[in-house]
Amino acid sequence: MNSKLLTLWRYYPSGNIRTEEIAETLQLSAKQTTRYLKKWQDEGWITFKSGRGRGNISTIIWKKEVEEVFEEEVLLRMDGETVENSSKFLMYDWSTDSKMRLMNKFQTKLGFIQESKDKLIVPKRYPILTIHPLEAAEVVSANLVATIFNRLVALTEEGEIIPELAHSWDVSSTKLRLYLKKDIAFHDKSILTPHDVKDCLDRLRNHKHYQELWKPIERIEIKGPLIVDLIHPNGCSYTLPLLSMLCASIYRESKDQVIGTGCFSLEENRDHKTTLLAFKEYFQERPLLDAVEFIKVPTDFKGAYHSHLEQTDSTSFQVESDSGFGIVVMNVNRNTDIKRKEVRDYLHWIIAKERDSIHTCNSRMIPNHKSMLVGHHQNIAIQEVPRPMFTEPLVVRGASHTADTTQWLVDILTKENIPIELQWYSFADTVNKEAKTLNVDLFIHGEIFEMNQDFSFFHFLKNGFSPLYHILPDHDELNRLLDSYLHTPFKSWSTLNRKVEKLLIEESIVIPLYYQKRYVPFSSDIMNITIKHFGYVDFSKLWVRPNIDEVE
């Protein structure tokens, strides 16, 4: 069963065709195309008559209903194949109806499986770009980092600092002293030392994307077998929250592997499958699951969490979690029309008056007239402003993960006769902040905060993976506010964050566009569902309530 044969069936009915067109559609060379066509003819799928000479018309006659035959075979094979092998069939170029039937069938293979181990199988819609804590800059990779590694401390949604690898700490005006827990094992069974902590934090504070955040920390010193000092002679109000971020995870590099201390270890990470195993020597509570397996599926796959006990009439419910927010970013550092505030204000007015229609891109997008910060309202009235002169087209950045919203933005600006040039970039390039992706006038950016909103907003302003870090202007009032974080007590950051955001909106540098929610279906016998980093389910807590008949 060949995916290219299905593609040929879907796009070319019986009749005349040029062989070069087939080769282009199937992304094959001319020689490979001829070989495939002969093979499919020998197998009885087609009758093919080649035109004489390059560019002449050929004829293809279909002898079988390819999609119907393939679908029937895949449905049968899904019963006996592994989940990983079954998932590969979903990547074929099916018609909408066939794809829906196959995805519904595949759905029954996901969820909790009880074999020799308790295993949760979940869909993986996007590739995992990295598991290194210093490089994980998008939520799929970051969610895995949160599961495999630990931080020295954790910061709750409410702003409380709680222990992880450190059991306690002393805080002074010039340093933070950490006391590490004893006998914490890495996944290779080696024991955590203060040298591991110092090495990881030194790499972090010298990393190009984080050195600005870590500038107040001048050095890190080992003061005893389980004691580490972070020295900040000029003070730093946010040292402890800084240690709670995923990039501050503690790891050990060995044989081209990055090893953590988390509740799950990474067994394999391939394109089609990523597998986590429960770490039995975990220093906190061992996960109730033995394994979590992520299987690649199409991006439009509608997955649900179900259990091996689930029956066709079982009840289910949806768990709601934040899926972040979207903003329009204006690149004020670019020496084009976008540098002029009257241009940005005019674009701001257009976006504000059209914002309610953003839900047409995705029904889960809620137009955001208020603030990036959930629970706050900036109460900024956007008034109509005179149309400025445009001296050249505005360059709008597009990428696959923002394709729909970017097209929405281009459409509403084009409707106002604003000259636009749309440039497309890869998702990986936008994540890594390649210089070319920032040489644009405006773009849509989606963001989801890690856990605590107050610190995550500051992190969003200052870390090198953030687009804002690269385009914030040399603006006296903004720089004064950013500098004030260093000596403002963390409990007062909410007020400071609102001031910074208000200034960014009033300057038409950042425009709130939408909030987004995620709704994940669970069967009712799945227990202890909690939401952790980036709005994802905490796999370490899940379990299935057994269906045991009561004995009188």
What string of DSSP letters covers 335-380? SSGGGSHHHHHHHHHHHHHHGGGGGGT-TTEEE-SS-SSTT-----
The answer to whether residue 550 is domain-embedded is: no
CA dist., res. 237 & res. 153, Å (int): 15
pLDDT at res. 409? 98
Confidence of residue 450 (pLDDT cuts 50, 70, 90): confident
As beta bridge partners, residue 515 has 325, 366
Report residue 74: phi and psi, to 5°: -65, -40
pLDDT at res. 414? 97
Q: Which of 79-88, 375-384, 531-540 has the highest mean pLDDT?
A: 375-384
Residue 278: helix, strand or coil by DSSP?
strand
Which range is least confidently modeled, 113-122, 311-320, 518-527?
A: 311-320
Q: Residue 293: is it exposed, middle or buried by C-beta count within 10 angstroms (0-12/13-18/19+)?
A: buried
Residue with tokens 């009235």: 381
Residues 343 and 256 in one domain: no
Q: Which amino acid is at 517?
A: K
Domain boundary, last residue among 211, 229, 261? 261
pLDDT at res. 321? 63
Which range is least confidently modeled, 74-83, 155-164, 337-346, 527-536?
A: 527-536
Residues 47 and 158 in one domain: no
Residues 349 and 433 in one domain: yes
Which range is least confidently modeled, 12-21, 53-62, 106-115, 180-189?
A: 106-115
Residues 345 and 493 in one domain: yes
Residues 228 and 326 in one domain: no
Residues 387 and 463 in one domain: yes
What percent of the chain has a predicted confidence (pLDDT) above 70? 92
β 442-447/365-367 pair status: unpaired
Q: What is the pLDDT of residues 293-324, one digit of tens each?
A: 888 888 877 765 555 554 444 555 566 666 78
pLDDT at res. 46? 94
Number of domains in the chain: 3
Neighbours of 428 (CB within 10 A): 14
Contact predicate 261/165, CB 8 Å: yes
Residues 53 and 155 in one domain: no
Secondary structure element (H or E) that encloses residue 478, with its range: helix 476-484
Residues 487 and 348 in one domain: yes
What's the average model confidence in pLDDT over 444-467? 91
541 against 155, higher pLDDT: 155
The answer to whether residue 309 is domain-embedded is: no
Question: Who contacts 411 (Cβ-Cβ below 8 Å, separation ≥6)?
Answer: none
Confidence of residue 551 (pLDDT cuts 50, 70, 90): very low
Question: Who contacts 495 (Cβ-Cβ below 8 Å, separation ≥6)?
Answer: none
- Joined together, the tokens standing for residue 325 give 């927010």
The answer to whether residue 522 is domain-embedded is: no
- Joined together, the tokens standing for residue 279 give 């770490």
Q: What is the pLDDT of residues 494-510, one digit of tens each?
A: 999 999 999 999 999 99
Q: What is the CATH number of the domain that holds 228?
A: 3.90.76.10
Residue 54: helix, strand or coil by DSSP?
coil
The answer to whether residue 289 is domain-embedded is: no
CA dist., res. 84 & res. 293, Å (int): 9
pLDDT at res. 308? 52
pLDDT at res. 11? 92
The answer to whether residue 437 is domain-embedded is: yes
Confidence of residue 242 (pLDDT cuts 50, 70, 90): very high
Q: What is the pLDDT of residues 329-362, one digit of tens each?
A: 999 999 999 999 999 999 999 999 999 999 999 8
CA atoms 401, 407, 408, 412: torsion sign: positive
**DSSP class of 191:** B
End-to-end CA distance of the chain: 55
Residues 234 and 344 in one domain: no
Average pLDDT across the chain, whole number: 89
Residues 256 and 375 in one domain: no
Domain boundary, last residue among 18, 49, 64? 64
Q: Which residue spans within 84-194 are E strands per DSSP?
A: 111-114, 118-124, 153-155, 161-163, 166-171, 175-180
The answer to whether residue 238 is domain-embedded is: yes
Q: What is the pLDDT of residues 388-397, one digit of tens each?
A: 999 999 999 9
Q: What is the CATH number of the domain that holds 16?
A: 1.10.10.10
What's the average model confidence in pLDDT over 365-377? 93
The answer to whether residue 139 is domain-embedded is: no
Closest CA to 330 of 501, 445, 408, 427: 445
Residues 372 and 501 in one domain: yes
Residue 166: helix, strand or coil by DSSP?
strand
What's the average model confidence in pLDDT over 123-149? 88
| 423 pLDDT more than 70 | yes
| 64 pLDDT more than 60 | yes
What's the average model confidence in pLDDT over 524-537? 74
Q: What is the CATH number of the domain that holds 413?
A: 3.10.105.10
Runs of H (alpha helix) within 2-42 = 3-11, 19-26, 30-42
- The whole domain housing 218 covers 150-261
Domain boundary, last residue among 261, 290, 310? 261
Confidence of residue 380 (pLDDT cuts 50, 70, 90): very high
316 against 161, higher pLDDT: 161
Q: Which residue spans within 185-311 are E strands per DSSP?
A: 219-224, 227-231, 252-254, 257-259, 264-269, 273-278, 291-296
pLDDT at res. 312? 45
Residues 386 and 458 in one domain: yes
The answer to whether residue 512 is domain-embedded is: yes
CA dist., res. 410 & res. 393, Å (int): 12
Confidence of residue 547 (pLDDT cuts 50, 70, 90): low
What's the average model confidence in pLDDT over 156-181? 96
